[in-house]
Structure 1
């Protein structure tokens, strides 16, 4: 438990179930702390290893932190903005509020009201910023290149996750459900693999109870196509960087996405990407001369199949796209860069006397 007197930034997490927002907090805060940002979490569903404060500490927010005139409350959900507004405006606690928006849809009137009361707003992509009606700063999510890095030996990387070292591997990672486009990936592989005996495909991720029938149907379709040993459902794993390192091609087939880190994780492991034009994917990938992957319309099985074939059938293109992806991930999308830029917003608010 952190001493609230030493905490300058509070990062609430008011949702117990693991989500993209929760994952962002878990990955970002250790980096922020390493950079000297005095941040602590508040709420359930987070590892005990993260610095945190208890709810009783909120009664001490009338007092200034050590060496600062106020604190920053960094909300990422409506439910986290509302109590901060109450504490700042009704209880007159010494707070400034930052909100990070990842939404890519029109906001409700209630959300617009909450966002209008923020002291600073961060958008996770330019596409997200376009839906905001207040000034914002775009700070895209970054990747931890200490966790996601290329395989020194691709054959050994495949063996490490019990996959055949002599096969090329296409992968799709994430929750198994219609929204994530898992069926599109499976259907594209059913169309491609019979003519490409040196390739197999894997689906890594779990189906929640509400989507288990969907997963079962996909497995039955694979079995009916005679590809049960070449399209593998490997389940959910905590060592996901090891699975990326085993890949030769990554496909992000989502029909909808708020931001989406999987293409970036693949790029950081030097794997070329085929991704649908959803979330921030169009801002993560590069096309043209320094191609890192191919962007396709969401929901298009034909274009997904065609794009995957372009990489499967052209080893040089695959190699170059992987190398460009690695370079782009390191130079433009490191998590240290994300944390540093967020820290600049914190510092501006912490230094204000109002």
Structure 2
């Protein structure tokens, strides 16, 4: 078959879902596939695809994409593209229509968000009925998918996300690392406790701030500094009212000198080198990409004991705490902040786990095996 795939992501947002197509494009190319894209005009998705080396087909809106069906079908035919991969549930309408009009197309869908309500009405039965394979990015999301989608279990596959561990290997000299720490406002001997992610309520920054206050009160002899990494504006994907509330709470708790709002950063792999502990207190992560990125960097990670994060972290490579229990987070942070050797051992174990189970190479290998599968192997 033709080793070509079109990734469809008609979104103006910018999160893990939107970043996914451009993240896997280099590895798709390396493994012999030719990626194409369909995105909204002027979106960050379109820009990211261009940065990854492809020129996406663009449409002004989701609605206009339906009006451009003839143009899209002509593009698919001209480029001999026989595989479509959708990343937003709202894009499945387009994908299902395209595969209906051109039955030889194989249609794939990744549930990046973790479905929360049943989708078994006639429309969804038709749309998902066109899907060759639905990918769940964790076992937690697969269980939700089995309950929510009108698909047999054989058509739903857990496929963990992956990363290139080499990107997260330490590169900074000791002088560059210290300079980065100073840029982040870190005192010379302070244990750096970071929380990367969009600043929105579901990511748990509010509980983390409360935990830092408990840490300051309960372990006054520990030297530490908190770093919030994430955009501070709506344009950077964050909730501006929430950011303002976080700043006010940090001030009210007397933590202004111990917490840095670092803003949106493109150099997260290098920022990990400046951190000693990475926290991910999200309440219900569908996977936890930040978790495996921090693990690949050899960091001691504390993650929420909910959603998919417990599939990634165990007692040998990190710590888990309830996202609703700031006291548990304070205790976990105190344990790790007080023991550099423990942090090192956990980080080394975490790095080994990523190399074994969560590489981008393995993820894309499994993906293209599905793309190239026998078209008749699944009942529609």
What TM-score do you get using the length of structure 2 for normalisation?
0.82
Structure-1 separation of matches of 2:334 and 2:190: 16
Quote how far apart the aligned CAs of 1:141 are.
0.5
1:148 CA drift (Å): 1.7
Shift of residue 16, structure 1, vs aligned partner: 2.3
Are residue 125 (structure 1) and residue 128 (structure 2) matched?
no
Does residue 51 (structure 1) correspond to residue 54 (structure 2)? The answer is: yes
Matched, 1:157 2:177: yes
CA distance in structure 2 between the partners assigned to 1:37 and 1:301 by the alignment: 46
Give me the whole-angstrom Cα distance separating, in 2, the residues matched to 1:64 and 1:228: 56
Confirm whether residue 247 of structure 1 aligns to residue 275 of structure 2: yes
Q: 2: CA distance between counterparts of 1:167 and 1:59?
A: 59
1:278 to 278, 300, 306: 306
Who is 1:94 aligned against?
104
In structure 2, C-alpha distance between the alignment counterparts of 1:230 and 1:217, rounded to whole Å:
17
Structure 1, gaps ≥5 residues long: none
Distance 2:24 2:221 in 1: 40
C-alpha distance after superposition, 1:314-346 (max 9, x if no partner): 222211101111111122111111111101111
Does the 8 A contact of 2:281 with 2:303 survive in 1? yes
Paired position in structure 1 for 2:318: 293
Q: Residue 131 of structure 1 aligns to a residue in which SS?
A: helix
5 Å-filtered alignment, 1:98-113, equals: 98-102=108-112, 103-109=114-120, 110-111=123-124, 113=126
Q: Are 2:283 and 2:307, in contact at CA under 8 Å, matched by a contact in 1?
A: no
Cross-structure match for 2:38: 42
How many angstroms does 1:313 deviate by?
1.9
Q: Please show how residues 176-215 of structure 1 align to structure 2 within 5 Å.
A: 176-193=199-216, 195-209=220-234, 211-215=239-243
- Aligned to 1:147, what secondary structure does the other structure show? helix
The answer as to 2:371 corresponding to 1:346 is: yes
> Is 1:77 the counterpart of 2:88 in the alignment?
yes
Distance 1:144 1:158 in 2: 25
Contact 2:230-2:264 at 8 Å conserved across structures: yes
**Bigger Cα displacement from structure 2, 198-207 vs 162-171:** 162-171
How far residue 87 of structure 1 moved from its aligned partner, in angstroms, is 1.9
Quote the offset at 1:197 in angstroms. Answer: 4.3
2: CA distance, partners of 1:92 / 1:17: 29
Q: Work out the number of aligned pairs and report it.
A: 342
The 2-side partners of 1:308 and 1:155 are apart by 26
Higher helix share: 2
In 2: Cα distance, 1:318 partner to 1:106 partner: 39
Partner SS, residue 17 of structure 1: coil
Does structure 1 retain, via aligned residues, the 8 Å contact 2:286–2:307? yes
1:64: how far off? 8.2
The alignment partner of 1:74 has SS state of strand
Q: Does 1:137 align with 2:165?
A: no
TM-superposed CA distance for 1:74, in Å, is: 0.9
Show CA shifts across 1:71-97 (max 9, x none): 1111122222222221222x2353011
Distance 1:131 1:197, change over 3 A: closer
CA distance in 1, matches of 2:223, 2:124: 51
Taking structure 1 as reference, are residues 242 and 196 closer, same or farther at Cα in structure 2, changes over 3 Å only?
farther
Worse-superposed segment, 70-79 or 25-34: 70-79
Larger deviation, residues 326-335 vs 142-151: 142-151
Structure 2 spans left out of the alignment, 5+ residues: 59-70, 147-151
Find out whether 1:148 has 2:159 as its counterpart: no
SS at match of 1:146: helix
User: SS of the residue aligned with 2:145?
Assistant: coil
Q: Is the 8 A contact 1:75 1:100 kept in 2?
A: yes
Distance 1:282 1:64, change over 3 A: same
Write the deviation string for residues 92-117 of structure 1: whole angstroms up to 9, x where unpaired.
35301111123152333354553233
